[in-house]
């Protein structure tokens, strides 16, 4: 199984500030034949299901604000919120879909400082 | 717009069984890979298992904690997916989400979930 490790567990950021969440996979999730990283990021607000933000490590889902960006390749990935808004308070998860079982990181709780 | 609606959750005793359903619309269901993901109270997300489309073999994959106890099935004529849960344990308690991938990640769209509580 591919273990996904997220850091930090939580972070507090001022409104308008930058939030950076890291995700490390236990093995590469880069599929060489198509050069795609099978890594997604989700946002989950209280009482709601997760929402897909980023797929293929860096492709923003339709309708997701451009303050959200994903980067990285192989085993190391980052989700950045460039200018934190009040509505971004949530828990964020990375997830690999390179191989079954699909696995998630432990989550990062983002709060307003 | 893809819509997924779970049903069938409830309170069940340890050792009991329950069958969850997921009704799908807004997608070509027969081509879709469908998954179940669960979330224990106050905890993170845990993938339970998936069923591939029949054209890609219709095979199922399961997470280790549920293998041998849970079974995923699908009815492409009714646009439905099911999760048969047997020999339930208290640690199976949580919200169970139905999810599908339509070419972006494997979990592009999610239902709102159904709560399963395993308790004596």
Residue of B nearest to A108 (CA): B44
The interface residues of chain A toward chain B in range 28-47, judged by CB-CB distance below 8 A, are 38, 40, 42, 44
- pLDDT tens track for B5-47: 999 999 999 999 999 999 999 999 999 999 999 999 999 999 9
Give the nearest partner residue to B110 out of A50, A56, A107, using CB atoms.
A50
Per-residue pLDDT at B35: 98
Mean pLDDT of B66-73: 98
Per-residue pLDDT at B104: 82
Per-residue pLDDT at A93: 98
Per-residue pLDDT at B103: 80
Instruction: Please answer whether residues B9 and B112 qualify as being in contact, where contact means their C-beta atoms are separated by less than 8 angstroms.
Output: no
| DSSP label of A56 | T
Q: Return the number of CB contacts < 8 Å for A and B.
A: 65
Cβ-defined contact of A49 to B106 (cutoff 8 Å): no
Res. B105 pLDDT band, cuts 50 70 90: confident
Res. B78 pLDDT band, cuts 50 70 90: very high
In which order are the strands placed within the sheet that holds B18-25? B3-7, B18-25, B80-85, B70-75
A104 CB near a chain B CB, below 8 Å?
yes
Q: Chain B residues with CB inside 8 Å of A51's CB? A: 110
**Cα(B35)–Cα(B17) distance, rounded to whole angstroms?**
19
| Chain B positions with Cβ closer than 8 Å to A | 35, 37, 44-47, 49-50, 61-64, 97, 101, 104-113
Per-residue pLDDT at B28: 95
Q: Chain A residues with CB inside 8 Å of B49's CB? A: 101
- pLDDT tens track for A10-66: 999 999 999 999 999 999 999 999 999 999 999 999 999 999 999 999 999 999 999
Give the nearest partner residue to A49 out of B44, B104, B113, using CB atoms.
B113
**Cα(A19)–Cα(A90) distance, rounded to whole angstroms?**
12
- Cα-based distances in Å from B109 to A49, A52, B103: 9, 7, 11
Mean pLDDT of B72-83: 98
Q: Which H, E and C letters describe B52-90, residue by residue?
A: CCHHHCCCEEECCCCCCCEEEEEECCCCEEEEEECCCCH
Res. B102 pLDDT band, cuts 50 70 90: confident
Per-residue pLDDT at B26: 96
Share of chain B above pLDDT 90, in %: 95
């Amino acid at each position: 199984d591919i273990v996904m490790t997220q850091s930090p567990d939580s972070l507090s950021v001022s409104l308008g500030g930058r939030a950076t969440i890291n995700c490390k996979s236990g093995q590469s999730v880069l599929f060489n034949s198509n050069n795609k990283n099978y890594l997604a990021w989700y946002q989950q607000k209280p009482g709601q299901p997760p929402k897909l933000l980023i797929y293929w490590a860096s492709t923003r889902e339709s309708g997701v604000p451009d303050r959200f960006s994903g980067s990285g390749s192989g085993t190391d990935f980052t989700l950045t919120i460039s200018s934190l808004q009040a509505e971004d308070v949530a828990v964020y998860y990375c997830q690999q879909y390179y191989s079954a079982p699909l696995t998630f990181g432990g989550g990062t709780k983002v709060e307003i400082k | 717009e893809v819509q997924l609606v779970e049903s069938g959750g409830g309170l069940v005793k340890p050792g009991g069984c329950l069958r969850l359903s997921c009704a799908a619309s807004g997608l070509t269901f027969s081509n879709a890979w469908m998954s179940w993901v669960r979330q224990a109270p106050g905890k993170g997300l845990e993938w339970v298992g998936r069923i591939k489309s029949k054209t890609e073999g219709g095979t199922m994959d399961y997470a280790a904690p549920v293998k041998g106890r849970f079974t995923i099935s699908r009815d492409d004529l009714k646009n439905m997916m099911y999760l048969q849960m047997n020999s339930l344990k208290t640690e199976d308690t949580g919200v169970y989400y139905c999810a599908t991938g339509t070419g972006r990640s494997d979990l592009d769209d999610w239902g709102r979930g159904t709560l399963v509580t395993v308790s004596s």
